[in-house]
Amino acid sequence: MAGTKALLTLENFINGKFVPCSSYIDSYDPSTGEVHCRVPDSGNEEIEAAVEAARAAFPGWSARSPQERSQVLHRLADLLEKSLEDLAQAESRDQGKTITLARTMDIPRSVQNFRFFASSILHHTSECTHMDHVGCLHYTLRAPVGIGVPPGVVNIVFGTGPKVGEALVSHPEVPLISFTGSQPTAERIAQLSAPHCKKLSLELGGKNPAIIFEDANLEECIPTTVRSSFANQGEICLCTSRIFVQKSIYSEFLKKFVAATRMWKVGIPSDPSASMGALISKAHLEKVRSYVKKARAEGARILCGEGVDTLSLPPKNQAGYFMLPTVITDIKDESCCMKEEIFGPVTCVVPFDSEEEVIQRANSVKYGLAATVWSSNVGRVHRVAKKLQSGLVWTNCWLIRELNLPFGGMKSSGIGREGAKDSYEFFTEVKTITIKH
């Protein structure tokens, strides 16, 4: 039709070339509910081509010196930085997140990660021991398992989990899998990869507690906890979804927290003043809303957000997947809203009496990804952090990352860790060599 803008059509990237696919899936702009691009619906054929390209590229790339590979990663970081605005716009439109978040966190963090690992690969050392009594020297080597950037080194194949995902994780020549996502998907990956004894790194969900003691600095705690609850529409695995507040300050905290939450503006992603954009999909929006309905049916109180306050949007965004940040209270620990990962702008606030009690309640879910502790008592901070069943514990802050240190969760929040040393160990195979002299 004349005047109609053609839809963007993505292609797979295999062996250094963009490759069209025989069928495609519609991808929706979360802020409007309209189709904004078409994505390949790949399957076995595309996975076979990608695996073959990777196999052919692997010997040459793995033989390159750390210095050469470091230069490639630095070049990638430079290219990302040069295209920061274009990438931020694309990420915002695809995910529904605010352009501000994409500009200030997503793309800059990608650049930072490439530069960090470009540097860290130059400083790894191997182990060596000597056994004088038998005249033997032992040392270790690490051989790369995955791959990295000339043609065939990086391949991007789009599609659905049941189709292309299963083809990838069950392929006998894919030796390891790094996955970030939900626990049910991870269970399926484990089933499919088990016959091949693949290495797995699984970063899964969380039901992350914030524990706020009576000596917490509320001037810092409240804005940070609003951010930790609702940043990126709550669609961050590290977001806070259970807030435990000591009884003596519970009423004060709740009043100030709700007031601060109502200041958290929901708007179209391109609005620079928006704190939150749209959720990722219509189906996910309905899922998140269903948790609020369940909480209300259980007798909980919804203090602000869904079903309480009015969301104002421009006419063209009325069909977008927007939801106000929602605070729930008067809810039991046994509620699904306190047990299950909602992955949206919903958080529950409940009171507690003692340190021992709150540790037990915080640990009572199947997840163990992250936690935050707010207190001015250094001894208490150390005690509580040690006893929490969480792979990450932030005290008096949130989402401050140190890439040198391990990142990952306990219990149903995953298997393995990421970080300079942990990633190096995961993406390589260690070999012990003994030489008798």
The residues assigned a catalytic role are 203
Cα 101 versus chain centre, distance? 14
Q: Give Cα separations from 407 to 45, 317, 337, 419, 428 (angstroms).
A: 34, 37, 25, 6, 18
Amino acid identity for residue 167 in this structure: A
Question: Which two three-digit tokens encode residue 80?
Answer: 């990302």
Buried b (16+ CB within 10 A) or exposed e, 195-204: eeebbbbbbb
SS3 436: strand
User: At 56, which helix (H) or strand (E)?
Assistant: helix 44-62
The closest of 207, 202, 116 to 401, measured between CA atoms, is: 116
The upper half-sphere exposure of residue 142, i.e. CA atoms within 13 Å in the direction of its Cβ, equals: 18
What is the distance between the alpha carbons of residues 96 and 106, in angstroms, rounded to a whole number? Answer: 13
Which residue shows structure tokens 């793995």?
Answer: 62
Which residue shows structure tokens 């089933």?
Answer: 191
What is the distance between the alpha carbons of residues 138 and 278, in angstroms, rounded to a whole number? Answer: 56
What is the distance between the alpha carbons of residues 355 and 365, in angstroms, rounded to a whole number? Answer: 17
What is the distance between the alpha carbons of residues 40 and 367, in angstroms, rounded to a whole number? Answer: 34
Question: Which two three-digit tokens encode residue 212?
Answer: 């706020």
The closest of 62, 30, 53 to 320, measured between CA atoms, is: 30
